[in-house]
Copies of this chain bind each other. A is one copy, B any other.
């Protein structure tokens, strides 16, 4: 077999613009060998009692906590931001606890039961997919590398994770924590690499989970299809918020500012379009622009403000393109950046409120992934829903109205997997709701709740002839 990428890849620092790190993707042979080993070790891992797997993950939780400072430092360098890096490192422990709880309640020993046919009994079994491949994005490098991984490990799978090459500095630290727990190290590894390493994983995995752009997600679906394996894709969004007359405009403005600009808008569940009922449009926009103009950049120091750098330089071009396109087509910037601003080598975009926008603009149709808030007026509920649903994405959304009932009735007609009511982007904090991605925002089962664990196992049935059948079937 031919090796393809023994060369190192230089990695850009989002705060300085300097290429101050490098990764060395494994060769094709390396990936194949790692997958072979993981698959071999999975046999024992998959047969292990759930309490044992829980113990192993709890040991890993301690190892992660022991290395938390190093992890946060790496994540800060990877992403150029602080608050979200602290959050990401904190969430590992609570995620492990949550998934362990769900898994322990789920796995019970299979028993033989009488079926409705007198001479047949039945027993159910669960068989883990041996090797799960996880390909994760740069916007929450640690968090999104674990969202499928922890339930897959608890389901008894081996897992190989390939995070984005844009944010690879945390990989060494996380692999060190895994190495601290030998039983886990047998079945779990992170590897460095770019797209071609991800493609290599798909060649060996039995199931693939991908979080990232819709464009790349379609390629992953294609590669999984070629190998005839199942795939779970969580892709882009163009989440709409609807603000109706009667809603608390001040609270709506605060919530939408958070929902649109947290992590500098670099979240799939960011609010990317705001539609406001015409009668309250001016009042809302005034509040939003005032609040937005007060938000500071996290520059010169990482704790100077809330808005960190745009992590990926490719994303900078997209944001700039969307802003340019909108202004050329008549949009007006009330506050914010007309283009990403270069400070100390990093690109930053201020919370930016746009009005005079319409659906001919990229900023209303394509995922921007920046802290941009285009605001557009609607007359009535029908128009609001037509605008909100007029996208090929369907990840989530938000509705603000005078009463929960009024908001809920609108939410039920939105073609998206989750809708926040009288707040924005609540899927960022809520892990209990099971939800699917609609339209081009994803494919496959929910990543929350028990269903998320079940995805990683196949059901198997034993059908047992327990009594004498009066006659052979028909011979």
Contacts and interface: CB of A to CB of B under 8 A. Distances in A.
Copies of this chain = 2
A417 B458 contact: yes
B435 A83 contact: no
Most buried by B among A221, A430, A458: A458
A465 interface: yes
Contacts of A127: 438
A218 B228 contact: yes
A473 B257 CA distance: 10
A461 B446 CA distance: 11
Contacts of A446: 459
Contacts of A306: 474-475
B461 A417 contact: yes
B254 A124 contact: no
B475 A422 contact: no
B419 A462 contact: yes
B228 A463 contact: no
Contact of A222 (B83, B225, B463, B466): B225
A169 to B, nearest CB: 25
Interface stretch (A25-33, A112-120, A382-390): A112-120
B115 A420 contact: no
Nearest to A457: B436
Interface stretch (A189-197, A313-321, A404-412): A404-412
A423 interface: yes
Contacts of A83: 474
A412 B473 CA distance: 25
Contacts of A123: 408
A464 interface: yes
B460 A120 contact: no
A10 interface: no
Given A116-B432, A435-B460, A474-B262, A465 B122 contact: no
A295 B472 CA distance: 14
A433 interface: yes
A436 B421 contact: no
Contact of A426 (B120, B230, B254, B423): B120
A444 interface: yes
A417 B460 contact: yes
Contacts of A229: 443
A117 B258 contact: no
B430 A120 contact: yes
Interface string A434-475: 111010100110100001000000111111111001001111
A459 B255 CA distance: 25
A375 interface: no
A303 interface: no
A230 B444 contact: yes
A418 interface: yes
A343 interface: no
Given A419-B461, A420-B463, 8 more contacts: A122-B433, A254-B473, A306-B474, A420-B465, A426-B465, A434-B461, A435-B459, A436-B460
30 contacts: A115-B432, A117-B429, A120-B426, A122-B432, A125-B412, A127-B438, A218-B228, A221-B228, A222-B225, A254-B472, A257-B475, A258-B474, A295-B475, A306-B474, A306-B475, A411-B462, A417-B461, A418-B460, A419-B463, A420-B464, A420-B465, A421-B464, A422-B465, A423-B469, A426-B465, A430-B463, A433-B462, A435-B458, A435-B460, A446-B459
